[in-house]
Amino acid sequence: GRYCDQPEKFPGVAHFHTMRVNQPAGKYYKTDYLRQLCDLWDFRGSGLTNMHGSTGDIVLLGTTTPQLEEIFYELTHKMDQDLGGSGSNLRTPAACLGESRCEWACYDTQELCYQMTMEYQDELHRPAFPYKFKFKFDGCPNGCVASIARADMSFIGTWRDDIRIDQEAVAAYVGGEIKPNGGAHAGKDWGPFDIQKEVIDLCPTKCMWMEGGKLNINDRECTRCMHCINVMPRALRIGNDRGLSILCGAKAPILDGAQLGSLLVPFMKVDESYDGVKEVIENIWDWWMEEGKNRERLGETMKRQGFQKLLEVTGIDPDPRHVSEPRHNPYIFWKEEEVPGGFERDINDYRSRHPK
């Protein structure tokens, strides 16, 4: 709702409401649908639209209070279209193009987005959360909907086997027969392609090297940054054992500073029931709705209570991949019942094994 403080002075904008409309998965539109939408907004609203908002919604800018129910009726009854999320509820889930267009998608983002939208209709329409909650579905670590930066729960496609290498294509890139980056930078002469400078030296974990004219990758050290695959898409392919990672807690700076998502589930295979995904979601919601303060995003509750609490409520075991860097794990502590013999120790026995 948007209301003017001085409606008697500015009657033209006494009310100028914004409506969010649930965008189709992957933002695929038919022209007749777009015409229908524009006709509706020219007739019932200001004619101004925002395609799309940061959550992903079709944003219709500016209408009056008497028109709200009319617009909602037109959208739902004649266009088979739902409103987007608003308020302290589940906001409109957003997904990238996924397997419909992208060779790097590791799971069907559009299907998972659709199933979660259908499953959690109550959470979309009946606010029950401490504050807003966002899902975003990225098919691969390139992150075309920026889920890691903007979603309380982000689902990012990944793989757990090795990157597939076509050594002949690697040689073709090195020899200049294939343009790097899919030809995206072909408008300017950058000189011959230098695999050492443009790929190997830019690997964040230094897990790549050339030997005997062949490219080698230590996949155990690979963090799936996608840079090498983006530069040489015909030479490198994502692995075949595909699934997704779940990250939690990303947000903009509201109560606290901006946060990126923290890795919660390193890898999960995606089946058609999505039971594993739903279990993680619902365990987090149960805890957050109980413990979250008013207007506190999930990331702020995590920061206040600690990441270990999130692991406990989801039943996920601590994993080295939860730690961003060595000796930087401020949330994994042993409980007495988890330690053989408890915390009681014989000091003399200890000193016999650890002399001063």
Task: Give me the tens of pLDDT residue by residue for the chain, a chain 356 residues long.
Answer: 889 999 999 988 899 999 999 999 889 999 999 999 999 999 999 999 999 887 789 999 999 999 999 999 999 999 999 988 888 999 999 999 999 999 999 999 999 999 999 999 999 888 999 999 999 999 999 999 999 999 999 999 999 999 999 999 999 999 999 999 998 987 788 889 999 999 999 999 999 999 999 999 999 999 999 999 999 999 999 999 999 999 999 998 877 788 999 999 999 999 888 999 999 999 999 999 999 999 999 999 999 998 889 999 999 988 888 887 776 665 667 777 877 777 777 778 878 888 87
Residue 106: phi, psi to the nearest 5?
Answer: -100, -10
Instruction: Name the residue type at position 31.
Output: T
State the fold for domain 164-237: Alpha-Beta Plaits (3.30.70)
How far is residue 263 from each of residues 90, 247, 260, 332, measured CA to CA in Å? Answer: 21, 4, 10, 14
> How distant, in Å, are the alpha carbons of 161, 217, 226 from that of 230?
18, 15, 6
Q: What is the pLDDT of residue 331?
A: 60
pLDDT tens-place string over residues 54-87: 778 999 999 999 999 999 999 999 999 998 888 8
- The domain 1-84 is classified under which CATH number: 3.20.20.70, 3.30.70.2500, 3.40.50.720, 3.40.630.30? 3.30.70.2500
Structure confidence at residue 332 (pLDDT): 66
Question: Boundaries of CATH 3.30.70.2500 in the chain?
Answer: 1-84
Of the candidates 64, 48, 120, 66, the one whose C-alpha atom is nearest the C-alpha of residue 91 is: 120
- The Cα–Cα gap between 44 and 68 comes to 9
Outline which parts of the chain fall under CATH 3.30.70.20: 164-237
Q: Which CATH class is domain 85-160+242-355?
A: alpha beta
Question: What pLDDT, on the 0 to 100 scale, is given for residue 189?
Answer: 82
* Token code pair at residue 304: 């206040």
Angle (CA) 262-263-264 rounded to 5° is: 110
pLDDT digits (tens, 9 = 90+) for 178-225: 999 998 987 788 889 999 999 999 999 999 999 999 999 999 999 999
Chain mean pLDDT for the chain: 92
Q: Does residue 135 contact residue 118 with C-beta atoms inside 8 Å?
A: no
User: Which part of the chain is CATH 3.30.413.10?
Assistant: 85-160+242-355
- Retrieve residue 112's tokens: 């998972």
